[in-house]
Structure 1
Amino acid sequence: MAAPIKLKLPATSANLGPGFDALGLAMDFALHIDAHESETFSIKATGRNAAQCGDVADSLVLETYQSVLTGQGIDPTPIHLDLHNEIPLGMGCGSSAAALVAGVSLASHFGGLHWTREQILTEASLREGHPDNVAACVLGGLTVSSMLMPEEGPAIIDALSIAAPVSWPLLVVMPDASLSTKKARALLPETYSKADAIANVQRVAMLTAAFAQGRGDLLVRAMDDRMHQPYRAAACPLLPRLLPLAGHDGILGVALSGAGPSVLMILQDQSIVEHANKAVQGLLMSGDPMQAEILLSTVGNAAIVF
C-alpha cells in the first residue's frame, strides 16, 4: 500500500499579454490535496466551487489519475481526496492545469511510476494541449515554455523558471461569469500579419528580460499584445475597462489572465495596493457598472509534494 500524499498546486496566469502559449506566472493561492488509498473513489471538498470539485463523476483530478494509470497498463487503485480549492474555476487562473498536475502526480505516486518532475510536466502539458500554465504550476515563478510535436518520436517540452529579483504584488480582477478556454480560443484568427507577429516577438522578449531584471518600468509596453487580447476583448469586457490603468500610479502592467475573462494587474509594491483597488473600483462603476471580485496575490512557488 502506498503512503498518503499531500499536494499543493499553485494557481497560474498565462500569456501575460504577448506571451501567448509561452509565458506563465505562478500565484500564491492554490489547490490543496491530501490523498490516501481507499475502498472506493471519494472526495471531500472545501473552498471555492466545492460542490463541483467534490463531484467524483466529474473530477478532472480523478479522471486524469485513472487515465494515466490505465494508459500505463495499471489498474487504478481507488483513492480518497481531502481537497481544498482556492482557485476560481473557468476564470483564467489555471484551475485545469492544477487539476491535471494533481492527477498525474497522484498517478505517479499511487501507481508506483516514480516519474520525475519533468515527466509529470510533460504528461500534464500534453493533456492540457499547451505547456504555459502547467509549467508555471510545476516550476513556480515566471516560466517560459515551448512544446515541439515531431512527426515521429515523443513530444518535447522545454520549460524554464525565472525568479524576479523584486516581489511585485498582483491583483486578479474576476467578473461574475466564467469563460471556457475552448470558447476563448475560438475567437482567435487563423493567421496574423507580419507586423503583428514582429510586435509580439519584440514584446515577449522584453517582458521576459524585464522580469529577470526587475524592470517594472518596462512592463506597460512589454505587456502590450496583438495576438489574442484584441480578439477576446468583447468576450472579456473587464480588459478594455481596466487597460487604461496600465503605466499609471504604480500599476505597472495590465493583461488578461490566461484566456480570460479575469484581468491580471502587476503592481509596483505593497504601498499602492489600496490605491489600485480604489482605481479598479472607480473604473468598474463608471459608465455601465460592472461587478467583479478582486483578489490580492503575489508570485507563487512551485508545486509541492509533501
Structure 2
Amino acid sequence: MMEMAKQNDSAVTEFVLEGLTDKPELQLPLFLLFLGIYGVTVMGNLGMILIITLSPKLQSPMYFFIGNLSVIDLFYSSTVTPKMLGNFLWEQNVISLPGCMTQLFFFCVFATAEFYMLTVMAYDRYIAICSPLLYSAVMSQKVCNMLVTGVHIVATFGGMPHTIFMIRLSFCGDNVIHHYLCDIIPLLKLSCSSTYINELLLILVGGFNVLATTVPIIISYAFILSNILQIPSAEGKSKAFGTCGSHLTVVGFFYGSIIFMYFKPASSSNMVQEKVASVFYSTVIPMLNPLIYSLRNKGVRNELSKAMGMRYR
C-alpha cells in the first residue's frame, strides 16, 4: 500500500502513517466500521453531556463527573479517529512533524485525564457509600470543580514531558510510522538519536500515573466492598453495587488495555497486538463509556426515556 519513504540526507519533516492494515480489500469495510464507531462516540458522549447538563434530576456530583468523563472521551476519540479514517481513504496518509507532535501531546493529555477522572469518580463513590451523611458537605460543587480542574492540570503537565523530549529527538531515515497515530513507542522506533530519556520517561511518568490512580481506586473499592457487606438487606446491597458497577466496568476495560499496551515485556512486543490494544482504549472505550453508563444507570435511563418520549410525542 505504501512506499517506504527515505530521507537519508536530511531530517524528516513529515511522517507516513501506516494505518491498521495494508490490505486493500479491508480498507472500505474498516472505514465504514470506524466511521460508525466514531459517530456513536460523538452522539453518545454529546447526548450524555446534554442530558446531564439539562436535567434537574441529574445535578449531583456523580453525574457531574460522568458528564466530564464524556467531555474527555469526546476529545480523546477526536484526537485519534478522524486521522485514522484518513488511513482507509488515502494511499499515503501523511502527517507533518508539528502535526504529529500535536497529536501525540493531546493523545497523552486525554489518556492521562481519563486515568485521573476515573480515580476522582472512585473517590466520589467511596464518599457516597461509606460516608453518606457527609456526602453533600464533602462533595460540594466547589470541591467537584476543583477536582475536575486538578484532573486537567495534571493531565496537561503529564503530556508535556513526552512531547518535549520527543521534539528533541532526530528523525532522519525511515519516516513510516507503523501505526495509525503518532504514539510514543512507534515514534521511538524511528528515531536516529538516543531514546534513553524518552524510554525512562515512559516508565517513570506512565508508571506514576498508573500507580497514582490504581492505588486510590483499589483502596476506595476495598472500603466500599467492606461497607456494602455490612448492609443487612439484599436490596440495599444490590443498590450500592449498582452505583459502582458501571464505573468498575469502565475502569477494567481502560486499565486492562493500557497496561497490555505499555507495560508488557519488550520481547513480547507485537505490532498487530499493539494496534488492537490502541484501538480499544483510544476508539472503542470512548464509545462504550456513555453506553455503559446509560444502560446501567437508572437515573440516566429514566432521563433518556423522558427525552425520547418528548421527542416522539
Give the structure with the larger strand fraction.
1
Same fold (TM over 0.5): no
Give the structure with the larger helix fraction.
2
| Greater RCO structure (CA 8 Å; 6+ sep) | 2
- Please classify the TM superposition score into its range, dividing by the shorter chain length: under 0.3
